Chain A
Amino acid sequence: MENHSFSLKNKNIVITGASSGIGRQCAVECAFGGARVILIARNRQNLIAAMDDMPGDRHIALPVDLTEFDGLAASIREGIAGIEKVHGLVHAAGLQMTCALNQMNIDRYRSLFDINVFAGLEIARIVTHRKFIPQDGSSLVFISSTMAAAGRPGLTGYSATKGALLSAARSMAMELASKKVRVNCVSPGLIMTQMMQDVFSTLTPEQVSQRRQGYALGLGRPRDIADACVFLLSDAARWITGANIPVDGGYTAQ
């Protein structure tokens, strides 16, 4: 698979939220695709545990709180100092919050935007510095959500952040095209991650049943999202930028 356009061999890929769920699966699949992965999340032990599932031994665990914006750039630059170029980024770190509009407040909006949007844009800024961009360019992937396009009660704040990613990615794609940096989003439907199982545990059986409706192909797995990310990170997607790929079992096709 060395010269196959879908391969990630010899690529350095930064993944946020890499200790669990979609981010962790992205790290695993990128490693299987041949990449060296720089895994970012808060907890070092969880990152090390994620690396246990990954082939290869050159991966880097970077325990960083992405919402500590003051020291973020320095921490990331220090963490990736040993690698010359960054070929790709997946911003999978995120916070899901179901909360009625009349219970939302600025702190809640801020906590959602900090990790879902601002952290992703900051990392994008850092890894698209001229010195990190390889000659053949790089690829940024933001994990958005079907909830950027469709509405659901209680997701006003969350939807706002995921919609912001879609909009930001399009402008970023235009701005960075001249540097051969592609910018795209993947919009997952309902994926049975641990985070989602925790959310389900707070819902009534009727609510759970309601949440499962509309998925023509059933609910998704983290692997379904990771595979789409690997494609966008690879050279096979060289002519795709500013796009959003719904990976949602048909949810938004209705």
Chain B
Amino acid sequence: MPQKEHLMIDRLIEFFEEILEKDPGQIKPYDKFREYEEWDSLAYISLVTKIDEQFDVTVRQDDFQSLATIDDIARYIAKSRGS
């Protein structure tokens, strides 16, 4: 996996920790994030807002439905940015 994608996953994990108020180490790249007890519609809005602000990527709602893990999200962002 490219270094940039690793960094992106780290940032996404930070987002999830902040949004879901999880302690460091509780979020893993291959976790199915929809299975987190704290995941809800507002968390979704918070996440796509953060991705938009921090990575300048607008996540289409249809696309998001197909993403299951944080690793998936990182790959989606990388692809959207053409990197």
Contacts and interface: CB of A to CB of B under 8 A. Distances in A.
A3 interface: no
Interface in B10-64: 18-19, 21, 41-46, 48-50, 61
Which secondary structure dominates chain B's binding surface?
A: helix
B61 A204 contact: yes
Nearest to B48: A202
A102 B21 contact: yes
A206 B41 CA distance: 9
B45 A202 contact: yes
Given A100-B45, A100-B46, 4 more contacts: A103-B50, A153-B41, A203-B41, A204-B65
Interface string A144-167: 000000000110000000000000
Nearest to A201: B61
A102 to B, nearest CB: 6
A100 B49 CA distance: 11
A154 B46 CA distance: 9
Interface of A: 98-100, 102-103, 153-154, 201-204, 206-207
Contacts of A103: 18-19, 46, 49-50
B9 to A, nearest CB: 20
A205 to B, nearest CB: 8
Given A204-B41, A206-B41, A207-B41, A99 B48 contact: no
A100 B61 contact: no
Contact of A153 (B18, B42, B48): B42
Nearest to B15: A103
Contacts of A204: 41, 44, 61, 65
B19 A102 contact: yes
Contacts of A202: 45, 48, 61
B62 to A, nearest CB: 10
Contact of A154 (B21, B45, B48): B45
A96 B47 CA distance: 18
A234 B54 CA distance: 48
Given A201-B61, A202-B61, A203-B61, A100 B48 contact: no
Contacts of B19: 100, 102-103
A99 B61 contact: no
19 contacts: A98-B45, A99-B49, A100-B19, A100-B42, A100-B45, A100-B46, A102-B18, A102-B19, A102-B21, A103-B46, A103-B50, A201-B61, A202-B45, A202-B61, A203-B41, A203-B45, A203-B61, A204-B65, A207-B41
Contacts of A154: 42, 45
A191 to B, nearest CB: 20
Contact of B45 (A99, A201, A206): A99
Nearest to A203: B61
